[in-house]
């Protein structure tokens, strides 16, 4: 038996937030001082570094668990299976449900419990739990699903990545422009079909790197000091990713026995266009070979960084021929890879 993705689904919010909408923001330095550049220049520099021209924000009445439910419904429908046969629902997120215009994260009950409730699954042996693993959370959830299935504890798992980062950003921080909302889901199950998860790799770097991403105060000093927002040390994260993600991908691929030239697509967490391109360049440099054309699909330009949702959403788009120049067919070998808060990195080599 092999362990494969038999169904996928994603939810991309309708509301488009273009870069131009940030021209009226009051961006400040971390010490609260004014930034000398006008907002048009700040946004222009942001675009050149990240590649993001717009991102998606969800509607005010929807929360992360709602988005995860929408993506899960699509994955279940795509897999053409009975939802009562799901053994585990694993939901990756970072901040739980943050209701519109509130400052408190709500994770009681867990998002997985809420999504199982929304799916109207009666089976109590369908175990629902959350995973907090930063942006690599969905990939790690897939790795956990594989372990459950391989051990005989499960036959079928639903793995979801969902986030509403637009509700935890400091509007006075330039980094806030990178984040977005969305959800992606996949059914993972044992199947006699060829292929599936070949190898995987995970690492947690916490000695010096644990707080590269953290919850901190607004750059606007007058705002409540008890309210926290997502913060990051972009330069350190960039350097960390370039040093560690290509090595993890290579270790994973080498153990799979697949030749680098047989890799058809590489799905990297959509954090920053330039960073992902640099990761890809270093990865292929490790094999002393050229980068194939159209090997790395990208969605960040239009969808922004939705954390745990980026990889499953991107895979769902390509799988359903919704991204120009990118298709998949049975037998294609792909790599999933991510890096994020913790600091965690992971990778999967997967045969479609």
**How do the domains of the chain map onto residue ranges?**
2-193, 198-351
Q: Which pair of tokens denotes residue 127?
A: 């175990």
- Summarize pLDDT for 182-212 with one digit per residue, the tens: 999 999 999 998 899 999 999 999 999 999 9
Select the more confidently predicted residue: 101 or 266: 266
Question: Mean pLDDT, the chain, as a whole number?
Answer: 94
- Summarize pLDDT for 17-44 with one digit per residue, the tens: 999 888 888 888 888 888 888 888 988 8
Mean per-residue pLDDT for 70-98? 97
Q: Match 């693993």 to its residue by tokens.
A: 133
The answer to whether the beta carbons of residues 94 and 113 sit under 8 Å apart is: no
Select the more confidently predicted residue: 46 or 149: 149
Angle at alpha carbon of residue 268, lines to 111 and 171, rounded to 5° = 60
Q: Is 0.85 surpassed by the pTM of this model?
A: yes
Topology agreement, domain 2-193 and domain 198-351: yes
Three-state secondary-structure class, residue 225 = coil
DSSP type of residue 219:
S
Which string of DSSP letters, residue by residue, matches 42-106?
A: HHHHHHHHH--SEEEE--TT--HHHHHHHHHHHHHHHHT--GGG--EEEEE-SS-B--TT----B
Nearest to 335 by CA among 272, 260, 270: 260
Looking at domain 198-351, its CATH architecture is: 3-Layer(aba) Sandwich (3.40)
Sheet holding 156-164, edge to edge: 2-11, 181-191, 156-164, 88-92, 127-131
In the prediction, which pLDDT does 102 show? 83
Interhelix angle 64-79/111-118, nearest 10 degrees: 50
Mean per-residue pLDDT for 48-69? 95
- Summarize pLDDT for 216-239 with one digit per residue, the tens: 888 888 887 778 889 999 899 999
In the prediction, which pLDDT does 145 show? 98
Residue 103 has pLDDT above 80, yes or no: no
User: Domain 2-193 in CATH: superfamily?
Assistant: Thiolase/Chalcone synthase (3.40.47.10)
Q: Please name the residues in contact with 273: beta carbons below 8 A apart, sequence gap of 6 or more.
A: 49, 50, 51, 52, 298, 300, 301
In the prediction, which pLDDT does 112 show? 98
């Amino acid at each position: 038996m092999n362990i494969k993705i038999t169904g996928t689904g994603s939810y991309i919010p309708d509301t488009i937030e273009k870069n131009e909408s940030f021209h009226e923001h009051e961006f400040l330095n971390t010490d609260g001082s004014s930034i000398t550049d006008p907002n048009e220049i700040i946004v222009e520099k942001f675009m050149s570094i990240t590649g993001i021209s717009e991102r998606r924000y969800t509607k005010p009445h929807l929360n992360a668990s709602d988005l995860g439910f929408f993506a899960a419904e699509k994955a279940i429908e795509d897999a053409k299976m009975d939802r009562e046969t799901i053994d585990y629902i694993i939901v990756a997120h970072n901040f739980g449900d943050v209701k519109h215009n509130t400052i408190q994260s709500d994770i009681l009950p867990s998002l997985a419990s809420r999504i199982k409730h929304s799916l109207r699954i009666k089976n109590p042996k369908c175990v629902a739990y959350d995973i907090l693993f930063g942006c690599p959370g969905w990939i790690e959830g897939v790795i956990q699903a594989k372990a459950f299935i391989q051990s005989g504890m499960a036959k079928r798992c639903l793995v979801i990545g969902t986030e509403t980062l637009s509700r935890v950003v400091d509007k006075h921080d330039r980094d806030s422009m990178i984040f977005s909302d969305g959800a992606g889901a996949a059914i993972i199950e044992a199947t006699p079909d060829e292929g599936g998860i070949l190898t995987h790799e995970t690492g947690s770097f916490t000695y010096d790197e644990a707080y590269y991403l953290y919850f901190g105060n607004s750059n606007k000093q007058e705002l409540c000091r008890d309210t926290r927002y997502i913060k990051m040390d972009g330069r350190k994260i960039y350097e960390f990713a370039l040093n560690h993600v290509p090595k993890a991908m290579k270790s994973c691929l080498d153990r799979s026995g697949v030749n680098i030239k047989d890799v058809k697509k590489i799905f990297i967490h959509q954090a920053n266009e330039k960073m992902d391109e640099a990761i890809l360049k270093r990865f292929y440099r490790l094999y002393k070979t050229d980068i194939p054309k159209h090997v790395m699909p990208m969605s960040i330009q239009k969808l922004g960084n939705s954390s745990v949702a980026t990889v499953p959403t991107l895979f769902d788009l390509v799988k359903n021929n919704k991204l120009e120049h990118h298709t998949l067919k049975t037998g294609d070998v792909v790599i999933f890879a991510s890096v994020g808060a913790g600091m965690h990195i992971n990778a999967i080599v997967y045969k479609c």
